Amino acid sequence: MNEIPGDGGSGLTVSVGGTTIVSTDVVLVAAEMLRFTAGQAEDFRMRLNNIRELDAPGADWRWTPRDAGLPLLWASAALGRMQQRSGDVSAALVLAAELYGWAESSALRLAVLGSAKVGHDIGTLLRLSFFIWPAPLALGVATALGLFTRAASSGLGKSAAGKGLVVDQRFLTDPRTVMLARLLVSSLDDVALGALGMPLGLDLLLGDTGLGVTGVSSTALLVLASARAQGLFREGPVTVKPVSLVPSVVPPTGVADLAKRIPKAVPGQPQVRIEKYVDGGQASWAVYVGGTVDWEAVATTEPWDLTANVAAMAQENAGSFDAVMEAMQAAGIQTDDPVVVVGHSQGGLVATQVAATGAYDVQAVATFGAPETAVPVPSGVATLTVEHKDDIITAAGGASMVYSDDRVTVRREVFATTDPPADTALPAHHLDTYRETALLIDASPEANLQGFRDTVTGLLGSAPGEAVLWRGVRLPGGPAQE
């Protein structure tokens, strides 16, 4: 039996700008059906009125049971009432969804504000009572991050007889756990600022609820500065090379096609796929970036590792970012060629950073399960962010309310009505799971989602192209970043 995509999961929730929920997918479908009903009612009413007008002007109305004029008049009035009521209910559904979004975003803002206050108080207490300063605190955060991610990659959720750490996947995939992790990550900079003695008001002004000067990126920078002194998270130079060619590919027709072409995170395999399409002499490109392969805190030859994750969140040039930029240059992408960049997990974070550099004419970005910070995507770039509410990896980006763009964010709970598989580590983060959500996105009537799909298909056209798979390697013995 074929598995139904999205079976056991919730519907889609769509927001714009990262703050206000526009509507849920279920509400959109109902509102769209009511709008269609109103349109059909108006169409039939106009037809009835045209039939009534066929009678000669000034004709004698007898209003007898055999006369068609009276039933036509009644039917026209009933259709008018149907049109009005359907339109009113449709508008009310959309308004209710927007009010729901306002309430949800307000609650999130209050939660971020509260976590910042608690974090600042903890930092102040540590400074006054134990004289613990931000650098050792950051090293502790780095160590905890390394232990958690290593456990995640080596067998979270396996049975006691198996190899690895036994953790209940229902806890890790609980949306409440994910939200708590988001708030914890967001408050780490507040702990550091409290330990430095910064006043709470200035902390709130500079942090996630204010200007966004401090936040996840500043915390990651502090983690790097402390951890690299201990030999962790040290970056180095990378090199890339093409490993295979697909001579004929058709352009993607939707979000599902974009997700399907992202390389899976497999050791020793390509991490980047670059497609080229030519229409009328103008080349356009699609770049797909895979997720984290190696979760060790000590950098190896694999650029898609935990070191690159932390460096990317610190908005430094991570090994994976450098490899993607080098592959794009080697592929022959010109600075004025339109480009679509797509990524999963770490690849999604890299995709937004490629767009943010302005080095290429990136016109659309799609990310799946990325631990994104508030990377400012240039104005005019169509951006789609897909997150699962039960994917704890996305929590590494914090719960920032600071967005400088109008990215469209789609959220969905994968295991809303079913238990996650106990033998799979972080199942809500898997690329296959995001591919299922991408199918639901393509089926959605939401205008912003349809607009993103139209942007991608308009950029890449319909003529066949070619694809090259690239593999990046971090060079051993290179000059490490201290």
Pairing of strands 282-289, 272-279: antiparallel
In tens, the pLDDT along 88-121 reads 777 777 666 666 656 666 666 666 666 667 666 6
Residues 316 and 283 in one domain: yes
One domain for residues 115 and 263: no
Could you tell me the two tokens for 388? 């699962």
Mean pLDDT of 39-58: 72
Q: Are residues 288 and 358 in the same domain?
A: yes
Angle, helices 25-52/69-129, rounded to nearest 10 degrees:
160
Q: Are 402 and 208 in contact (CB under 8 A)?
A: yes
What tens digit of pLDDT does each residue of 198-240 get?
Answer: 677 666 666 666 656 666 776 776 777 777 777 778 888 999 9
pLDDT of residue 281: 85
Considering 50, 72, 103, which residue would you say is the last residue of a domain?
103
pLDDT digits (tens, 9 = 90+) for 124-170: 776 666 555 555 555 555 555 555 555 544 444 444 444 444 556 77
Over the stretch 61-95, which tens digit does the pLDDT of each residue have?
555 555 566 676 777 777 777 878 877 777 777 66
Is 9 among the domain residues? no
Q: Do residue 211 and residue 93 come from a single domain?
A: no
Q: Report the DSSP beta bridge partners of residue 249.
A: 465
> What amino acid occupies position 327?
A
Number of structural domains (the chain) is 3
At 172 the pLDDT is 81
Task: Give the whole-number percent of the chain exceeding pLDDT 90.
Answer: 35
Cβ-Cβ contacts under 8 Å for 467 (sequence gap 6 or more): 245, 246, 249, 261, 273, 274, 275, 276
Count helices and strands in the chain by DSSP H and E runs: 13, 10
Q: How confident is the model at residue 474 (pLDDT cuts 50, 70, 90)?
A: very high
- Phi, psi for residue 474 in degrees, rounded to 5: -85, 125
Helix (H) or strand (E) holding 247: strand 238-249
Shared-domain flag, residues 175 and 269:
no
Give Dmax over CA atoms of the chain in angstroms.
Answer: 101
If asked whether residues 182 and 319 sit together in one domain, one would say no
Q: Is 331 within the bounds of a domain?
A: yes
Tokens of 109: 């803002």
Length of the chain: 482
Q: What pLDDT is recorded for position 106?
A: 63
Residue 469: predicted pLDDT = 98
| Residue finishing a domain among 184, 210, 228 | 228
Question: Residue 251 — pLDDT band, cuts 50, 70, 90?
Answer: very high
What rounded mean pLDDT belongs to the chain? 78
CA 192/CA 470 separation, integer angstroms: 40
Q: Are residues 305 and 178 in the same domain?
A: no
pLDDT band of 473, cuts 50, 70, 90 = very high
* Claim to verify: residue 145 and residue 259 sit in the same structural domain: no
Same domain, 73 and 44: yes
Residues 30 and 137 in one domain: no
Q: Is residue 306 located within the same domain as residue 160?
A: no
The residue among 228, 262, 295 that closes a domain is: 228
- What share of the chain in percent tops pLDDT 70? 66
Going by C-alpha positions, the residue among 387, 399, 369, 366 that lies closest to residue 292 is 369
Range of the domain at 35: 26-103
pLDDT at 422 over 70: yes
pLDDT of 120:
66
